[in-house]
Homo-oligomer: A and B are copies of this chain.
């Protein structure tokens, strides 16, 4: 066969690329055999600067929110959210907490959801009751653990997501106001969830209850379930792991690929890294009860997982999902176009919010007993 000169030169220079590009999964073994700069830890790839439009295929609500978000400033973010002392942490918490408490009240009022405070086993909880309970859920319960990187979300500020779950899934919710650093690092949060869980187990069947939350809440739900199993306690009928902070180290690939692209988290460095160390309080961050991605999911309850293509935690969520599936767990992964960490809970009335919490509701109907 005679090739034009240009094509022959192309084939000579770039055959592995042509091969890889066009017949995926068929000649890919050849990829990586060409000479060039390897991507080891010591010699990583340098990814060029790129332009990133707002995602055309995301929902209108999300796309507009992104279009109106100032371009994430990684260096500025790290500088502004690196806190040196417990006092700086405490100070950084009060303003967002006030906003979140207001949001919880506004959502509750709008959807006619009630929030009442009490205690279970000495731990402060908030009972969140929707206007209408699904007939199938009358005697069931969703046990909610809030997000906030283990530092934010104390008090009423931890309940906006609990209100969403109660409203969309039409189920009773108890949201645990677990203890947090700086005063109470790990294992206080896990201990509080265990204490509440033990108490709830005396009142109702384990499989009639779900456990879960978003971000640190998702991670804490996974870690607490690992702890239940260590203690020989019965596990919930279903888990909700919304973009769970399942690995408190910078290990997942998306921490590199989505840095400066996730509009909510921006970067591992700064607040997240600081919060990880504050929570672990000198312990190895890879301890499974701190970073449940390193735990054993054998025998875990059915788990509903959500993340987004722009989520800094994308890799960590899919790692947990894979590990669960390999362990034989019923694990349902859902990834949203253009969604940064927690956008689905942040954007009230977005299609993402409706889909995530609506489908979570269907998942609970399918798996709670």
Contacts and interface: CB of A to CB of B under 8 A. Distances in A.
B260 A4 contact: no
Taking the full assembly, how many copies of this chain does it contain? 2
Contacts of A37: 70-71
Interface string A14-28: 110111111111111
Interface residues of A, number: 140
A353 to B, nearest CB: 9
A74 B47 CA distance: 10
Nearest to A50: B47
A315 B309 contact: yes
A271 B88 contact: no
Contacts of A40: 53-54, 67
A338 interface: yes
Interface string A49-78: 111111111100000011111111010110
Given A7-B92, A32-B69, A36-B71, A243 B24 contact: yes
Contacts of A6: 88
A172 interface: no
A322 B347 contact: no
A177 interface: no
A350 B72 CA distance: 37
B257 A309 contact: yes
Contacts of A77: 14, 17, 21
User: Interface centre among A17, A52, A97, by most B CB within 10 Å?
Assistant: A17
A231 interface: no
A71 B46 contact: yes
Nearest to A215: B24
A96 B30 CA distance: 10
Contact of A21 (B4, B97, B149): B149
Given A17-B77, A318-B336, A4 B88 contact: yes
A184 to B, nearest CB: 17
A112 interface: no
Contact of A17 (B29, B100, B147, B266): B266
Contacts of A243: 24
A352 to B, nearest CB: 9
Given A19-B95, A44-B51, A53-B41, A342 B25 contact: yes
Contacts of A67: 38-40
Interface of A: 1, 3-4, 6-8, 10-11, 13-15, 17-41, 44-58, 65-72, 74, 76-77, 80-81, 83, 85, 87-88, 91-97, 99-100, 103-104, 146-149, 151-153, 157-158, 160-161, 214-215, 242-243, 247, 251-254, 256-261, 263-266, 270-272, 275, 309-310, 314-315, 318-319, 321-322, 325-326, 332-338, 341-348, 355, 359
What are the 4 closest A-B residue pairs judged by CB atoms, nearest first? Answer: A28-B346, A36-B70, A25-B345, A24-B342
21 contacts: A4-B88, A4-B91, A7-B92, A22-B93, A22-B152, A24-B215, A24-B265, A24-B345, A26-B146, A26-B160, A28-B342, A33-B68, A39-B71, A40-B67, A41-B54, A45-B71, A57-B253, A57-B319, A253-B337, A321-B334, A322-B337
